[in-house]
Amino acid sequence: MRELFFSIIIPVFNNQKYLKECLSSVLNQKFKNYEILIIDDHSSDNSKKICKDFLIKNKNIVRLISNPKNLGVGKSRNIGLRNSKGRYIIFLDSDDYLMDQGLINLKRIIEKKNFPDVILNHISQNKEPKNNLFFLKNFQNKKINKNNFLKVITKNKLLINECWRLTISKELIDKKNLSFKSIQIAEDASFIFKVLIKMNNIAVNQNKFLFHRSRLNSLKFSIGIAPAFAYLSVLSELLNYKKKYLKDKTVSNYLKLKMSYILSNVNIYLNLLKDNEVPKLAKKIRKIYNKSNLKGYISAQHKSTKGIGNKIKSNILSSEKKVIHRIDGKLKKGESIILYGAGIITLSVLKILKKQKYNIRLILDDDPIWKGRKLSKIRVNEAIYLKNKKIIKNNLFVICNISSNVLNKIKNKLLKLNIKKDKIVCFDL
């Protein structure tokens, strides 16, 4: 039996603040049978020097690949995959860090479960991820086949979209020719989808494996042409699987869930476009638009509208109408709006509400990452504000989140505070 060996792929771009902590957390592991592949994506800060210092001190473990220009995280991870020698692949962001016993616990799980294709790891973050906790609770000490896992995901509307949640067999990646899309954001989304539908089995690592640091300046909080194109590109790719897995109900149902999530993001990022960005995006997506069924998903309700740019505008208009319709039906004269949840979807909803001159009283969020921050010049406050009964009166609560599980959790929280059902609106766009 081939000896267990990990390839740990770490793309790096201008992250000098956390990079030392990330690399040290790997090098301090008790289990030493691994390689670190650092892909420096043409950093302009001190990151490159930090990487070189670690390389000099750990030549037998660390390999440094420097991109001649900035290629993006997707291409950087692909470079890491092509150069990896490990039996299993671990993806780390350069501001993540491994838990002290991370690799030794992972090794035990892999050997105990007879070398599964994929391992879902227990991730800690600014906020504890609910999907991982669900699987830890329901699948502890089990090796689960693909169909059972996908059925559970679909039934409970749980999505795994980030590659750092998974440890993946190199054999599976090579055999199925899996790679990341060369896009600025959401490059994980289609990759993880392909991993989960191509695998035979998966195991759950109940031990805390790594800490992921969510940052407000990360690409997922960016706006403009790039993220809008990225999600349309992912949608285009997923549409290619629709016919292929039409007779496979398990995969087909999971695909519907995945597409629902991607479509929500498409609507969010399209709505955040500036007027002058619409024709630029239309030009950019023309190739994939004509080669896929995207035309059926961009403004399907406006079939008579000609031109991709006009169809995108119709999508934006449709999102606006949806928000206005749901708000107007519940907002009474003299009432203000409290937005619950901060992030890109809230920014999209805010744009629509401000355009219609609604009175936004507060933005609330449970995650301390938002403390003291502003969205569209409105301060984000901690949810503890809800203890003040004056805050609850004469307001309409609008919950902004793509995850239906999170939406329902917040809704139930508000109901327990005696906020009436007709004063709560949930938005996933």
More confident residue, 428 or 227: 227
Please report the pLDDT score of residue 305 as a whole number.
47
Please report the pLDDT score of residue 429 as a whole number.
58
Q: pLDDT band at residue 84, thresholds of 50, 70 and 90?
A: very high
* Angle between helices 187-198 and 225-244 in degrees, nearest 10: 20
Neighbours of 140 (CB within 10 A): 10
Q: Stretch 225-250: mean pLDDT, rounded? A: 91
Q: Is 323 a residue whose pLDDT tops 70?
A: yes
Please report the pLDDT score of residue 201 as a whole number.
96
Neighbours of 215 (CB within 10 A): 16
Spatial distance between the Cα atoms of 265 and 405, rounded to a whole number of angstroms:
17
Please report the pLDDT score of residue 136 as a whole number.
64
Each residue of 287-319: pLDDT tens digit?
787 777 787 777 654 444 457 888 888 888 888
pTM of the model: 0.89
Structural domain boundaries of the chain?
6-215, 221-320, 329-427
Please report the pLDDT score of residue 174 as a whole number.
97
Please report the pLDDT score of residue 303 as a whole number.
47
Contact 64, 99 (CB under 8 A): no
Spatial distance between the Cα atoms of 321 and 422, rounded to a whole number of angstroms:
19
CATH fold group of domain 329-427: Rossmann fold (3.40.50)
More confident residue, 246 or 287: 246
More confident residue, 336 or 137: 336
Please report the pLDDT score of residue 219 as a whole number.
46
Average pLDDT score over the chain: 88
Q: Is 150 a residue whose pLDDT tops 90?
A: yes
Identity of residue 146: K
More confident residue, 174 or 215: 174
Q: Do domains 6-215 and 329-427 have the same CATH topology?
A: no
Spatial distance between the Cα atoms of 261 and 204, rounded to a whole number of angstroms:
24
Q: Is 247 a residue whose pLDDT tops 50?
A: yes
Q: pLDDT band at residue 83, thresholds of 50, 70 and 90?
A: very high
Please report the pLDDT score of residue 388 as a whole number.
74
Contact 429, 319 (CB under 8 A): yes
Spatial distance between the Cα atoms of 248 and 244, rounded to a whole number of angstroms:
9
User: What CATH number is given for 6-215 in this structure?
Assistant: 3.90.550.10
Return the residue matching tokens 């509208």.
305
Each residue of 92-131: pLDDT tens digit?
999 999 999 999 999 999 999 999 999 999 988 765 555 5
- CA 193 to chain centroid: 12
Please report the pLDDT score of residue 214 as a whole number.
74
Please report the pLDDT score of residue 407 as a whole number.
83
Q: pLDDT band at residue 66, thresholds of 50, 70 and 90?
A: very high
Q: Which of 104-118, 170-184, 242-256, 373-387 has the lowest mean pLDDT?
A: 373-387
